[in-house]
Structure formats: C-alpha cells, structure tokens
Amino acid sequence: MALSDAQKDLYRELLDTNTVLDDLHELLKKYKDDNKSLIRLSGTKPDLINNIFEAVDANIISLIEIQSLIKDTEEYGDQHIFVFGLLNNTRAPYYNDANGLATKIIPSNKRSNFPLLTMMPENFEWADFRSPNRGIDNSWYMKMYDLKIRETKENDDFDAVTNRRTVVYKVYPTRMVYSIEWDGNDRIEIKVNRTTFDSAKSLKKSIAQVKNAVFGGGNGVLVDQDFAPVDLRDGIARILENSEENSSIYKLIMANFVDSKGGSGQFRSIDDYGDDDLLSESSRKSAIEAYQDGNASCTVLHVRFLASGSGGALKNDVNVIISRDAINHLIIPAKIKPSEYRYVRRQIY
C-alpha cells in the first residue's frame, strides 16, 4: 500500500530525528548497484531521506526496512541505561514467560496495534512488545513513549511607555523513548533516551515511570523486589587495571576517585579528541596510581572503545560513561548498532 504524504512526513521526521547520515547512506548503498539511475549516495541528510522515499515509491526499498532502521536507532545508543540483576535464579522461569507477563501488563487492545512507531504521544503510552527479542531465547522487550515539553525563550521585550514586559517562548515537543528488556537469563535493562535537558531528577522520575508501568499491580515485572542494581564499578576497576595492555582496545578519558576519608579527585585526559590517554602523562599516571594504592575507588569512568582495536565490531569509536548517577548507570552519548552495543557491554560487564 502506498504511503500518504502525511505518513511520509511522519517517517521523514523520525528518520531525521533518530538516524545519522551514515545510517541513511548504508541503506541506500544496498540498492545502488541495481538502481544506479535512481539511488543517489551524495547530498545532505534531507536529500538522502527524500531519495529513500523515491525508492519506496518505486518499490525498491520496503517500509519494513525503514521501520527496522528507526527501531534500531531508537533503541540503541544515545541513552541512559540502568542494569539490574536477578536476585534469585528460581525466579527466572517467571520472567521467561514473556507472553504471560505481557498479558498482565499491557492491555490486549494496545498490543494488537504494535509497533506504534509513528505515534507522537500526548502522555505515557505503550509502544511495542516483542518476544523473543532479536532471536535470543526467553528474552523480551517492552517499549513506551512519553511527551516531554521544553520551552525556550525566543523574545523578551520591554515597553517603557506602558511599563509592560512581553516574553515569548517557543515550545519544543520531544518524544521520549523508554524501554525495559529481559536478556532471557538474569539481567534486566531499563533505557531512557537522552535529551538536551536531562537532569538527575528527571531521570529518576523516568525510571520510576517504567517500573510502575511494568509492575502490573504486583503481578508483572517486580524490579525493586526481584532485582538489584548491578555494580558496574567492578567493570571500572577491571578496565583500569588492564588499561595499559588493552591500550589498542580502549582509551581512558576521565575518572573520578573517592578515597577512604571521603575525599575526591577527578582526572581528565588533555585532549578529549586526540590521541592522549588518561595514563599517557607520567605525573597524572603517578597521581592516579597513588589514589589506587591508597585504596581509593574509581566511582565514575569515561572510556572510549576504539573501532581500530575492535576486530571489526565497531564502525566508529564509541564513548561510554560508566556509573555517573548510580552504580548501575551507563551513558552512551551516540547512536550505535545493536551488535556494537553488545560488544561494548561485554567489555564492561
């Protein structure tokens, strides 16, 4: 069925918001050899998006591929991720029953319309459920949308004659993406997409919303009862300990330490975008080693996983901030592919 202009506009907006130029280029490149007169690989992001819909109209690219691309970019990277571990493995069969859980949590009339990729929600709404998730036995994935409004001052005018001040604000609606996924074994991850107006308070509220949504009146996913935050500081310690021998795999960018007396120290590499590593300068390395020798613990670590040392797993370098707001908190500030996320996750925990 052909897409209407309104539907195309919605998909255009989602592609523009959720994808990067490389994603669009990669999709078009798959069809270039057989459709050289239609497919164009150069141009701006809007140019490539328009070309994608020219290919859709010509039955070259399917809508399913566009939906899949939006899903991947919406669900991986540019996120806050909170990792929880199952406290008692005897509860695993309960969480492996994906359809049973979904029946308790999500109204059936909602599930029949999933996925709701083009919905701009008015408030907190269910958007998707699937099991197994990306082919992993016993796994499941649940997604929710919410609307967040940001107001930006556009004009501030004072009339001295009337002694009246007029302030004009522009409203920017943002579709928030929340998700919770079970790995089919013993871990749950709650993910919240990043915005330009994140705060610890708003993150805490978002996590509480997700937990409440899946609670199912006590018959659903009991995050606070059955799970505990996974302490990612163990991964931080391992990354620091092995950093010199793994210098081709990752680069240390920033580290926060807390000593036994509660004092703290922060160390940053000289050039966040160059070749400098946190331990590459001798005096900085000595100071960090002094903290470690004094039984100080690293509470926050910013690490860059290098594409050049990933054996082809990463297309580009990936920055990760570990344990910023909580011991189970990861931040991945850029869009990545599902396979890239799995690679990064294995390096941390």
Q: Say yes or no: 172 and 37 in one domain.
A: no
Q: 118 is in which domain, residue-wise?
A: 78-229
Q: Say yes or no: 188 and 314 in one domain.
A: no
Q: Please tell me the distance from the alpha carbon of residue 281 to that of residue 242, in angstroms, as a whole number.
A: 17
> By the 8 A CB rule, do 70 and 175 touch?
no
Q: Say yes or no: 106 and 222 in one domain.
A: yes
Greater model confidence, 338 or 196: 338
Q: Say yes or no: 160 and 207 in one domain.
A: yes
Q: Say yes or no: 96 and 166 in one domain.
A: yes
Average per-residue pLDDT for the chain = 90
Q: Say yes or no: 49 and 109 in one domain.
A: no
Where does a domain end: 22, 42, 75? 75
Q: For 28-48, what is each residue's pLDDT tens digit?
A: 999 999 999 999 999 999 999
Give pLDDT, residue 271: 62
Half-sphere exposure of residue 211, counting CA atoms within 13 Å on the CB side? 15
Q: Say yes or no: 110 and 61 in one domain.
A: no
Where does a domain end: 47, 75, 103? 75
Q: Say yes or no: 121 and 23 in one domain.
A: no
Q: Say yes or no: 280 and 314 in one domain.
A: yes
Q: Say yes or no: 257 and 161 in one domain.
A: no
Q: For 228-287, what is each residue's pLDDT tens digit?
A: 999 999 999 999 999 989 999 999 999 999 988 888 888 888 665 556 788 888 888 888
Q: For 88-121, what is each residue's pLDDT tens digit?
A: 999 999 999 999 999 999 998 889 889 888 888 8
Give pLDDT, residue 282: 84
The answer on pLDDT for 10 being more than 60 is: yes
The answer on pLDDT for 340 being more than 90 is: yes
- Of the pLDDT bands very low, low, confident and very high (cuts 50, 70, 90), residue 19 is confident
> By the 8 A CB rule, do 264 and 258 touch?
yes
Q: Say yes or no: 218 and 109 in one domain.
A: yes
The answer on pLDDT for 211 being more than 80 is: yes
| Pair type for strands 250-258 and 140-159 | unpaired
| Pair type for strands 77-86 and 164-182 | unpaired
Please tell me the total count of domains within the chain.
3
Where does a domain end: 184, 205, 229? 229
The answer on pLDDT for 82 being more than 90 is: yes
Q: Say yes or no: 97 and 134 in one domain.
A: yes
Give pLDDT, residue 275: 64
